[in-house]
């Protein structure tokens, strides 16, 4: 498997002012595999410590002197450690959270040693830490499931990927390539981007084996609930996790999860799942200016799950049940389409920036409207409409463009790449002109490159 983050970590390895790296991401997104592969590809000796399995190793970090720590580890592991040629990997560091404070001393006193930390429930430690955080002395890397391009690489579709990276709106794919890319994207919607699911699908092409992996991942996440539920009922966490796929595309309302449960319990359960990075918020904003997060309405938001493949399994969908991509994406009123677009939009952020999602809605009895997502392109805000098929009404988009100062919009759909000048009338009869860039789903990761060419 190829993960783009490995190239970023290679750059980090040779950076002159390298800081200890902290990998942040949900369980099973490939953090440990990435570090092992990094060591393999760069010829570095990997010193891997897993503090969930070997919590007793934490005693060797009592000193604030990295040289003493390394001597202790050499004796404990019975192997030499040469800092300049090694990677010290502190895995599942949330099991020994006080070690975070030690990263400062490695940065200041032993910069020649590459140090990487990771933890599947790291967010809980970072929010409620009692130790001294090494502010300014660590580098975060955010890890998500595989994107569509990484999925293509896993399938050895390197020529198609190369074409996707070069295609333009003026010269879109011919019908045959467009259909092939659409078919592969439909496959991605079913398989998703969880590394084990992708690997299993590539090896077996078995829907049964894929479903088993997805269900095992879901059960693994539920098994983790005991680690952070506290006094909250695990039932509440399970209810929220299984409600998210059914509530995609809708404003998240606590009573829609369980009308008989206390709202505070559902709210707390959702907060814990967000910390575990099993689901993500799309926050409602006014969309009057930039930056996007400047006008957030914290009470209005939507929720997507970590991975579209898990959503497909939780909704009981199978790849062979659908003849084309439109069939699979219109399920549950376009829920899968909105899920996969939100999931892939998160990958547009640099690895060192925590991804965020935003959308716009207006709830009026006479004229409600909603824009699925919003992105920022330099000094412009760009609304994004997600349409499951080739056709689709754009009433909300027309209304949004008439109210806001922006003159360009994007539609992700199953059709070909094209550029149109839209002339529409608002509900009040006013004329409204704007540019609509329509892009097939498989070009989502190319959106900023394509915008630059216009």
Last residue of a domain, one of 142, 157, 190: 142
Q: Please tell me the distance from the alpha carbon of residue 61 to that of residue 99, in angstroms, as a whole number.
A: 7
Shared-domain flag, residues 11 and 89: yes
Shared-domain flag, residues 433 and 285: yes
Dihedral class, residue 138 (left if φ above 0, else alpha if ψ from -120 to 50, else beta): beta
Half-sphere exposure of 205 (CA within 13 A, CB side): 2
Residues with Cβ within 8 Å of 29's Cβ and at least 6 positions away in sequence, in order, are 143, 144, 145, 194, 195, 306
Shared-domain flag, residues 281 and 396: yes
Q: 């949004």: which residue's tokens?
A: 400
pLDDT score for 389: 64
Least confidently predicted of 4-8, 87-91, 250-254, 360-364? 360-364
Last residue of a domain, one of 142, 158, 174: 142
Question: Residue 312 CA to chain centroid, in angstroms?
Answer: 16
Shared-domain flag, residues 127 and 212: no
- Cβ atoms within 10 A of the Cβ of 119, count? 26
Which helix H or strand E contains 147, and what residues bound it?
none
Mean pLDDT across 213-223: 96
Which helix H or strand E contains 404, and what residues bound it?
none
Shared-domain flag, residues 159 and 136: no
φ, ψ at 110 (rounded to 5°): -140, 60
Least confidently predicted of 289-303, 319-333, 390-404? 319-333
Shared-domain flag, residues 387 and 355: yes
pLDDT digits 0-9 by tens, 145-194: 999 999 999 999 999 999 999 999 999 999 999 999 999 999 999 999 99
Shared-domain flag, residues 312 and 358: yes
pLDDT digits 0-9 by tens, 339-380: 999 999 999 999 999 999 999 998 776 667 899 999 999 889
Last residue of a domain, one of 113, 142, 171: 142
Nearest to 297 by CA among 288, 281, 286, 306: 286
Q: What is the DSSP letter of 97?
A: G
Residue 448, classed as helix, strand or coil, is: helix
Domain of 391 in residue numbering reads as 149-452
Name the percent of the chain lying above pLDDT 70: 93
Structural domains counted in the chain: 2
φ, ψ at 434 (rounded to 5°): -160, 170
* Domain at 84, CATH number: 3.40.50.300
Shared-domain flag, residues 313 and 368: yes
Half-sphere exposure of 371 (CA within 13 A, CB side): 27
Instruction: Tally helices (H) and strands (E) across the chain.
Output: 18, 14
Residues in the chain: 454
Shared-domain flag, residues 224 and 127: no
Whole-angstrom Cα Rg for the chain: 23
Shared-domain flag, residues 129 and 209: no
pLDDT digits 0-9 by tens, 277-315: 999 999 999 998 888 888 899 999 999 999 999 999 998
Shared-domain flag, residues 257 and 389: yes
Shared-domain flag, residues 317 and 189: yes
């Amino acid at each position: 498997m190829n993960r783009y983050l490995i190239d970023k970590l290679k750059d980090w390895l040779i950076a002159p002012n390298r800081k200890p790296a902290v990998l942040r991401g949900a369980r099973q997104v490939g953090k440990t595999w990435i570090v092992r592969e990094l060591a393999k590809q760069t010829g570095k000796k990997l010193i891997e410590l897993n503090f969930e399995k070997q919590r007793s190793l934490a005693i060797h970090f009592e000193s604030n002197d990295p040289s003493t720590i390394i001597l202790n580890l050499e004796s404990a592991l019975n192997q030499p450690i040469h800092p300049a040629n090694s990677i010290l990997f502190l895995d599942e560091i949330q099991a020994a959270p006080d070690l975070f404070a030690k990263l400062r001393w490695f940065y200041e006193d032993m910069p020649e040693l590459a140090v990487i930390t990771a933890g599947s429930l790291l967010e809980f430690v970072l929010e409620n830490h009692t130790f001294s955080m090494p502010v300014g002395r660590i580098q975060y890397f955010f890890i998500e499931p595989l994107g569509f391009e990484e999925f293509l690489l896993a399938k050895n579709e390197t020529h198609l990927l190369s074409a996707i990276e070069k295609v333009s709106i003026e010269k879109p794919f011919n019908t045959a390539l467009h259909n092939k890319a659409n078919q592969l994207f439909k496959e991605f919607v079913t398989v998703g981007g969880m590394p084990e699911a992708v690997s299993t699908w590539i090896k077996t092409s078995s829907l049964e084996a894929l479903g088993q992996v997805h269900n095992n991942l879901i059960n693994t996440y539920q098994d983790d609930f005991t680690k952070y539920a506290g006094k909250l009922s695990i039932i509440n966490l399970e209810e929220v996790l299984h409600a998210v796929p059914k509530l995609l595309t809708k404003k998240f309302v606590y009573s829609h999860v369980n009308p008989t449960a206390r709202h505070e319990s559902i709210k707390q359960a959702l907060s814990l799942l967000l910390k575990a990075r099993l689901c993500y918020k799309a926050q409602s904003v006014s969309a009057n200016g930039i930056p996007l997060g400047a006008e957030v309405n914290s009470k209005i938001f939507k929720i997507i799950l970590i991975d579209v493949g898990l959503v497909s399994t939780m909704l009981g969908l199978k790849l062979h049940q659908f003849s084309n991509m439109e069939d699979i994406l219109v399920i549950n009123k376009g829920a899968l389409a909105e899920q996969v677009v939100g999931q892939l939009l998160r990958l547009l952020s640099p690895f060192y920036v925590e991804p965020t999602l935003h959308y716009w809605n207006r709830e009026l009895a006479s004229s409600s409207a909603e824009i699925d997502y919003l992105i920022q392109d330099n000094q412009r805000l760009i609304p994004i409409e997600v349409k499951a098929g080739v056709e689709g009404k754009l009433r909300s988009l027309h209304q949004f463009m008439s109210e806001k100062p922006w003159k360009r919009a994007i539609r992700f759909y199953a059709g070909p790449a094209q550029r149109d000048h839209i002339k529409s009338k608002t509900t009040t009869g006013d004329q409204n002109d704007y540019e609509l860039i329509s892009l097939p789903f498989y070009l989502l990761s190319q959106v900023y490159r394509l915008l630059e060419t216009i």
